[in-house]
Chains A and B, each alone.
Chain A
Amino acid sequence: MSQPSWSEVEYLYYWPENERLQIVVAAQRYETVYTMPGLKNVESLTDKMAYATLKLKEVQIQRPTVAESVEGLKQLIGLGHLRAAYNLTITLLNNYGQGVGKAGQPTRNTFETFEFWSCRFQLMMALKLHSELLEELAAFETLDAPDTYFQYYPALLQQGYIGSIIPFNLRMIHAEAPRFSPDPIESIKRCCALEEITKQVIDQMTIESRSENQIKLWKQRLEAVKLMKARCWYTMKEFHQCITVYQELLSKATDDKRARLLQLLLRISVVIGDEKLVEKFSREITVQNSGSQNFYLHKGIKDSFYGNYAKAINNFQNAQKTSGGLSNPTVVNNEAICQLYNGKVEDARSHLLSFSAVPTEPIMLNVNTISQLISTSKDNAKQQFLLNIVNK
């Protein structure tokens, strides 16, 4: 597997120069290290699944050993071992001199270190380590220091590298992270700034008559930033702002993306409790989706909004028929919950327990809640359910 050449990947790092960089380049001052990250949380995460399996089945799961490199990270992620990957980022950053105590100290920033940080922050988002993430992100400040550009390193510039060394995903996480802080409006400001520059890049690339693929990728990035902005509004309970962003995306979406966005808009209307909006989006979904699984799913959700649980059950059963049996976890789950609200608690639980594939987290939570209601202390059903999961 060969490394791609710079010209093949250059467009991914395209980033307009800012004033800070220009001043420094004009003065030829390359000594200062502006971006000084360092690890703050170095406790290895325990492997909860392995622990649970050990307790329930007395079997020790072995996690694979991988190389201490980007490849190793990719392997662990590919196998779903996210905690192990997170632990590996600690090792890697230590090896590259940006471990504990290095935050605020000038160290050597390289292409690799930024990649490790990007991977680490992504894993922290997935593993919900939000306060730890905010701590470690602080050192990156506003991500526009001169040393975040290839141009700041004369050796790299000589080889033709220009643009931002910061992976775009890291920029997105940096913009979204304040959502988990006491000042969530900061995330909106950062999202808007990121959106602005992304649009500039697209405009510039269009002027330069770049290839369709390159512009397409940046348009996908713009979409991701908008989705992020909508998420931030949602967290702040600014539902109407959130809906406005999704409607912007809707106007440019392809058919399958449209279907997903409309379902999301329907759910947000249900969350708000606005009947007019529920009906509006429901009409649009109906037009788009007659006969498909999504069609019955949305009808079921609308029925539960009105409290018509018996009708909802019917619609979820129809949704199952179009998806070939008990295979869609959302549909199985929703039918069970409607059975619960219809007064059929035992049916609800057995329906959830009958789900054949590995149950998702929401299904497990619901099994737990319902079990608390109707299980005696000697009840084995839940235990058996957990054992089945572990077996898979």
Chain B
Amino acid sequence: MATTEGTKDQLLALKVMRMSRPTFNEFASTMGVDPADPFASGIEKAMSGVNGCDSMELPVGSYLMAPTSIDNIYLGETFTFYIVVLNESEQICSDISVKVDLQTQTQRITLQSKLGDTQSELLPSRSLGQMVMHEIKETGQHILVCSVSYITNDGEKMFFRKFFKFPVNKPIDVRTKFYNAEDNLNTDVYLEAQIQNLCTSSIVLEKVQMEPSEAYTCQEIKPSQSSDEFGNVYLPPKTVRQYLFCLSPSTPDNALTHYRGVSAIGKLDMQWRSAMGERGRLQTSSLQRMAPGYGDIRLSVEQIPGIIPLLKPFVIVCKLYNCCERSLDLILSLDGSLQPDVVFCSTSGQHLGQLSPGKSVQFSLNAFATSAGLQHISGIRITDTFLRRTYEHDEIAQIFVN
């Protein structure tokens, strides 16, 4: 993983240790111990000096261990490493300067290094080191470029570079689905977010939050069991967890044109931890939603009684929105043949007037029901005289007749 560039034999050496979280020592020598066994207790005692633990029955110890292997690093995590310059020679080296850059797919970032002090001097067998941290914001191949310059005892200027390559992968995959609760009464949108763990080991999801755009307010729909007793959401590799959010439009209804076409719903913010408490955090880019097409006009029911007595007249208040780019000249007609059990009392053929783009008009309908039970309201016909087009609206609402 490391390559060096620099001619001549160098007096100084550079080493880098990736400081992934310290792990606990795991016992390879474990065994069940029967207190009555003639050998077991003796063996356990003999192993205690080696293991540093007086029991052979535990799987994991309490010793923190310095990192020995290089683990994968993922987008959203913090890359922590210790960089050290060692004087392997017998002479004093001076004017030591260390520059540390991180080369990603798209840019070269200079990392903070206090080892760039030109006054510094390094005695033989001594070392100069520093912990460096950097939040990983890109995937793909990363190269840590460490450049060291110094002056030998004889005044000779020396320079060398060392490269450390490592890949950065995506830790989680997010898939989103939108569900429209929109019927004529409800304008909520439901967002289902599926989060999949792409890491090679398990992670624990601490926080998955939806940050809505200005146009919406958001509420998470959580399962009922969410006591702290069960811990956070544990996600083994490749498993998926689903989250559900309810997004309600925050602006008043008559700005419905805002929801046409593509609209920005918001961003998903995710925080997790992996083994030994290593943190990670990612935010999605703005999630986009394609609003369902309403066509040129949209009918919504503003007021309607839920339960209606038989043969008693009732009023339905409706609103018509002009969702298209042109003015409309509208006539309301009523077709009573589709619902034999509900009779319209209003006049058919009522002229509703001209409607500009983005505007709405309200109208009332009088009707009464002739039979009991759950009935639909259908048969609303809106005709645009400019283009001679008729829009049909059936089953716009339901009533219960008793």
Which A residues have a C-beta under 8 Å from some C-beta of B? Answer: 12, 70, 73-74, 77-78, 80, 82, 115, 118-119, 122-123, 125-128, 167-169, 172-173, 175-176, 217, 220-221, 224-225, 227-228, 230-231, 234-235, 237, 239-240, 242, 260, 263-264, 267-280, 297, 301, 304-307, 329-330, 333-334, 337-338, 340-343, 345-346, 358, 360-363, 365-366, 369-370, 372-374, 376-379
Contact = CB atoms under 8 A, between A and B. Distances in A.
Given A273-B204, A276-B231, A366-B66, A168 B34 contact: yes
Contact of A307 (B60, B125, B277): B277
Contact of B277 (A123, A169, A273, A374): A273
Contacts of A126: 29, 31, 43, 46-47, 56
Given A12-B36, A264-B58, A374-B84, A369 B51 contact: no
A228 B37 CA distance: 16
Nearest to A120: B39
A141 to B, nearest CB: 19
Chief secondary structure at chain A's binding surface: helix
B335 interface: no
B221 interface: no
Given A334-B62, A366-B65, A374-B129, A273 B276 contact: yes
Nearest to B277: A305
Nearest to B22: A337
Contacts of B203: 273
B399 interface: no
Contacts of B56: 126
A245 to B, nearest CB: 11
Interface of B: 13, 15, 17, 19, 21-25, 28-40, 42-43, 46-47, 49-52, 55-68, 82, 84, 86-88, 125, 127, 129-131, 202-204, 206, 228-232, 234, 236, 273-279
Given A334-B63, A361-B51, A377-B88, A122 B40 contact: yes
A289 to B, nearest CB: 14
Contacts, number: 234
Contacts of A345: 82, 84, 127, 129
B63 A330 contact: yes
A217 B36 contact: yes
A273 B24 CA distance: 13
Contacts of B51: 360-361
Contacts of B63: 329-330, 333-334, 360, 362-363, 366
B206 A275 contact: yes
Closest 10 pairs between A and B when the two form their complex, measured CB to CB: A360-B52, A172-B32, A362-B63, A305-B277, A273-B273, A234-B59, A77-B42, A337-B64, A343-B131, A125-B31
B64 A333 contact: yes
A220 B66 CA distance: 36
A373 B15 contact: yes
A330 B51 CA distance: 11
Contacts of B39: 73-74, 77, 118-119, 122-123, 169
A358 B204 contact: no
Contact of B40 (A169, A240, A360): A169
B130 A275 contact: no
B24 A270 contact: yes
Candidate in B33, B64, B277 with the most chain A CB atoms within 10 angstroms? B64
A77 B41 CA distance: 10
B50 A361 contact: yes
A80 B56 CA distance: 15
A334 to B, nearest CB: 5
Contacts of A123: 39, 43
B65 A115 contact: no
B125 A369 contact: no
A230 B59 contact: yes
A231 B57 contact: yes
A297 B64 CA distance: 12
Contact of A362 (B25, B32, B40, B125): B25
Nearest to B32: A172
Contacts of A272: 202, 204, 231, 234, 275
Nearest to A273: B273
